[in-house]
Every structure is written in structure tokens, then in C-alpha cells.
Amino acid sequence: MIRLVPNQSDQIERSGLVTFSFEGKPVQGHAGEMLVSALLRAGYLNLRHAPMDKAPRGAFCCMGLCQECAVRIQGQTVEACRTEVAENLIVERI
Amino acid sequence: MSDHFDIAIVGAGPAGGNAALTAAQSGLRVVLLDEQPAAGGQVWRGKSPSILSAPMTPETKAGNDLRHAIDQSQINHMSGTRVWDIRRDGDKWSLQILCDAQSLQITATSVILATGAREYVQPVTGWTTPGVIGLAGATALFKQSLSLPGDKTVVSGTGPLVFFVASEIRRLGGTVAAIVTPNTRADWARALPSMLQHPKLLARGGVWMADLMLAGVPILWGHAVSKVCGDDHVTSVQTQALESDKQGPIFEADSLCLGHGLIPQIEAAQMLGVPIHHDPALGGWVPDVSPDGVTPVKNLYLCGDGCGIRGALAAGLQGTLTGARVARDLGKTAPAPSIRAWQRAAGFGKAMTGLSIVKPKLEALTSDDTILCRCESLKRSDIRAEITTGAKSTNAVKSGRRAGMGPCGGKYCQTVIAALIAKETGKPIGAIPPSTPRPPLRPVPLGQAAGDFHYDDLPIPKPAPL
């Protein structure tokens, strides 16, 4: 089939894979990418529960405003969309 | 590093970046503060270090050019830095910033706010389901990580962004289940005269459109998403024709990109006393500002989409105008560029912004059981009840129900709440201003905001005698 917008996914060279954990389970991501993209790729869409109705929530604005992707790393609440993946990072739900 | 600068610029997108370059060329000491790891703003967002090489896009090239120019200049560029408070301190400005988990204070004679835009999403039942991301949010994923929101995505929203996002999903190897846009072909025909001035952009849009048609991706004009289904994550997306109210097709998908235009980020300007007015053609509430960035507040300047959505091209030109103006106001010689180029670019940007003015039929898809305030999980019925019992302003709804006090600071609920107050009270939308912004402008961990201190050093006044 003719494609005017070619699929360029195989022309992208990414950094090596590292392993971090989300809720105790190992997740692979490319070193230096944002947590949110690694978690999305691994199928972890539900990142937290809304404090009032406990409904599942996931990354929404992807630019550090909405706080829906807030996760906990070393006791600090951070935005998954502004935090880079690194080897052995321990990421938990807040 | 001395912590006093001639100019502090907040935001390193096309506007802030170009303002910084122009001001630095005149010999001023400039600090450029930005919360992202690389300059470029949202539109020219830099790639993360995980991308070693990738095909060049026009956005990458424009961003690389700006980043290169900033690197070569004398600008002190502080990336990954959040400005969470700005105050007048005698004859200078004092800025509280958070950088590498440390709280710092810097001062500057003049401040330029180039805070850009955020996305407006008209709430619809299920929009809080994981897998629903903003349309502009999706472009952040593409530009930074070249990653996809899911395997099969419905792309829905207004203006040209919907076609850009769909096209990028295909370029990165994903599948577009459908495009659902409230705009009609007639809306686009009306915008066409302004687009003819930018044949390159028009041609690029033409390629996206033709590719999507060739690939057989359904494009639903004059339609909107009426409901998002799925508990833990998106499983399907319901649509509706706006004019006829007829139910449209249901698409199975694991993700939805949803967005209805951009809103200027005016909180910092508003907090510092710049008057605002409502202009739907510019994205809603905008500060009073001249084309070269001058505001009624002394030594405070604004440029770019934060003073009205006119697009990246206009933002860059206004950045240059503003940087030169500040330099001249501080006694330096700087060229006084013509505002004609900015006006032309703004004409195009405004035509695109006009495509996102919310249609009443789209607004009507937000039902009483739709969550308006994501942070506090408040439904439309909750907000309506608050209005009915006397809350006639966004401030009143905020203090009554906490809508706007959550972690997002009201960024994703205030516009829709203001529209609801206007509707319920019969007032024009221009009579319902956004709630009073207060620091922190961004969430700050209390421990970091307080910085390092010893309890013994805290001045504790003696208790008053009983």
C-alpha cells in the first residue's frame, strides 16, 4: 500500500535497555527516556488512584502540569513525565 | 555565579528563547529558566537522551537551531528549573526557583514571562480513564521519546493538531483507529484564506490528510467523543455527530488522544498584577500587553502564546521584539524590528486558534456525571449544586468545593467551571474571570521549598503574656 507518511519506527536508534521496578515488578526502559513512556510501553497505564473516589488514573498532560502521573521514588513524589528512567530505580504508587 | 541578572526569562520556548537571544546580544546578563531538560518549549521539545538518532522533522530542526543558538550565546540557561514564586523586592524582582531538588532565590531588574500555553480538554464522561491523554500531551511523547500512547489510538479534537498527531502515530509505527473532529469541512474552508499565506504548512497538512485517506483511516467531521469506556484502561470510544446529536460509530482502542485547543498560561502575569481580558479568538483570558511585550506593570514583559494563542512562528517573532524592547528600556542599543512580520504570522495562528473555539454542541457532551475537577473527582452536578447555592465566581466554587485547590492548581478545571457559571447565571463568559492565582505556581515539596535550616536558627517570638 502507498504510504505518504512512511513508518520510520525502524530508523530510530535508542539507548540500551535498563531495568527499574514499578510496584515491585521489573520494567524495562531505555536509559534516559521519561518514566511515563517506559511505563506506557510496558502496559502500566494505571499509575495511581484518585484520592477522593479511588478511581484509576494515568498520564494525561505529559508536560508536568496535571500531576496525574505522580509516583513515588525514594519517598519523594515526582512526575513520571519529568523523571528519567535509570537502572535499579524503585518506583511505587503514591 | 552572581544571583542578580538584568533579565530573568521564564520559559525557553520559541518566545522566551528568542527574547533571551536578542537581549543577550545587546550585552545584558540574561538568565533563561525552563522546567524541561532542553530548550524549545512544547512545540520544539528536545529529544530525551534515550534517542541516539532519528529521522529529522521540521520541529526537530527548528528546536535544534534554537538550542544551538542558546548554547553559543552568553545566556545563563537553567533547564529542569521550576519558578514557583515571583515577587517585587524594592526596585528588583525576586524569583523563587527549584533546581536539582534545591530551592534557590535569584533576582533580576526585569522579568519576561514566556510561559506559553496549556491544553484545553472539554470534559467527557470517562476522560479520566488511564489511556486518555491530551492531544498536545501526545506530541510531547512523540517529540521527547518518539513513543506511542498505545497500540491502537483514537485521535480526537480540534484544529490542525488532530491531523498532526494522527500522522505522527503512523510515522512512529502505531495504528490510528479513527479521527474524530468537531470541526466541519466548512470550518476549514473558512480558515483557508489565512492558510494560503503559509503554503509550506498547508502542503504539509495536505500530505497528512492524503496519507490518512489512503490508509483508510475513518475521519469523522463534525463529530466528537461522547464517552470513553473502560475501567482500568481505555477499551472503546463512543462518538456522536454534533449537529444531529445522532450516535456515531464506537471504536475499539486502547488509547485516546483528546484536546480542544490551547489556553494561554496567564497565572504568573495575573499574580503580578497585569490586567486581563477575555478574547475567544486568542484562546480565552489574555493579559493586556503591547506587540513588543510591554505591560502596565513596570519592568514586567510578556511574549508568546502566554499572551494569546498565535502559534510558534508568531511567538518567536514576538520574543525578538520583546527582547529588543527590554534591552532598549534598560539603556542598551538594540534594533527595533518591524511588527509587520509578527502581525502576518499572528493572522495565521489566530485562524488556527479560531478552529478551537468551543461549540455549544461540544460543550453539551459534558454531562452531569462527568468529572470536571480531576484532582478532587468533582462532577458537573457537584459544581452545579455549588453554583445554585450562591457560588457565582470561580473563586467561590474554589473555596466551596476545592475545585482548583488540588495538585494541578485548577489548570484543567477552571475554564470549564467558568463556562458553567456563565451558563447557570446567564452572564457572559467575559464576566467570569479565572480564580485568583497564588504561589506556588507549580507544586513544590515543602521540604525543598524550606531549604536547609536548623530549628535552633528559627526566630521564635516570645509568647504573649497571659
Judged by DSSP in three states, B18 sits in helix
Q: What pLDDT is stored for residue B198 in this prediction?
A: 85
The answer on pLDDT for B305 being more than 70 is yes
Picking from B50, B148, B377, the nearest residue to A14 by CB comes out as B50
Q: Is B351 helix (H, G, I), strand (E, B) or coil?
A: helix
**Which CATH number is correct for B367-431, 3.40.720, 1.25.40, 1.10.260, 1.10.10?**
1.10.10
B11 interface with A at CB cutoff 8 Å: no
**Model pLDDT for residues A4-54, shown as the tens digit of each residue:** 999 999 999 999 999 999 999 999 999 999 999 999 999 999 999 999 999
B278 bridge partner residues:
B285
- In degrees and rounded to multiples of 5, residue B428 shows phi and psi of -70, 150
Q: What's the mean pLDDT in B200-214?
A: 93
Q: From the candidates A15, A62, A87, which should be mutated to test the interface with B, based on the most B CB atoms within 10 A?
A: A62
> Domain ranges in chain B?
4-118+263-352, 121-260, 367-431
* Residue B314 pLDDT > 90: yes
Contact: B374, A57; criterion CB under 8 Å: yes
Chain A (65-84) residues lying within 8 Å, Cβ to Cβ, of chain B: 65-68, 70, 76-77, 81-82, 84
Domains B4-118+263-352 and B121-260 share a fold: yes
Spell out the residues 6+ positions from residue B442 whose beta carbon is closer than 8 angstroms to its own: A64, B35, B82, B83, B84, B98, B409
What's the mean pLDDT in B318-346? Answer: 94
Mean pLDDT of B166-174: 97
What value does the mean pLDDT take over residues B226-252?
97
The Cα–Cα gap between B440 and B438 comes to 6
Is any Cβ of chain B less than 8 angstroms from the Cβ of A53? yes
Residues B355-376, mean pLDDT to the nearest whole number: 97
Name the B residues in 352-381 with CB < 8 Å from any A CB: 374-377
Lowest mean per-residue pLDDT among B77-81, B215-219, B347-351, B446-450 = B446-450
Q: What percent of chain B has pLDDT over 90?
A: 89
Tens of pLDDT, residue by residue over B48-59, are 999 999 999 999
B153-180 b/e (C-beta count within 10 Å ≥ 16 → b): bbbbbbbbbbbbbbbbbbbbebebbbbb
Assigned fold of B4-118+263-352: FAD/NAD(P)-binding domain (3.50.50)
d(CA B392, CA B383): 11
Nearest CA in chain A to B256: A60
pLDDT given at position B1: 44
* Contact call for B231 and A6, based on CB within 8 A: no
Which chain B residues touch A14 with a CB distance below 8 Å? 50-52
**DSSP E strand stretches across B3-157:** 4-10, 30-33, 51-53, 76-78, 81-89, 92-99, 102-113, 117-119, 132-134, 152-157
- Fold annotation for A16-92: Ubiquitin-like (UB roll) (3.10.20)
Sequence spans of domains, chain A: 16-92
Residues whose CB is less than 8 angstroms from the CB of residue B317 and which lie 6 or more positions away in sequence, other chains included: B18, B337, B341, B342, B345
Query: Mean pLDDT score of chain B, rounded to an integer?
Result: 95
Q: Which fold has domain B121-260?
A: FAD/NAD(P)-binding domain (3.50.50)
Looking at residue B195, its pLDDT comes to: 86
Q: Which residues pair with B227 in a beta bridge?
A: B238
Chain A residues closer than 8 Å to B442 by CB: 64
Q: Is the pTM of this model over 0.80?
A: yes
**Distance in angstroms (rounded) separating the CA atoms of residues A70 and B287:** 31
B32-72 pLDDT, tens digit per residue, is 999 999 999 999 999 999 999 999 999 999 999 999 999 99
CB B181 within 8 A of CB B355: no
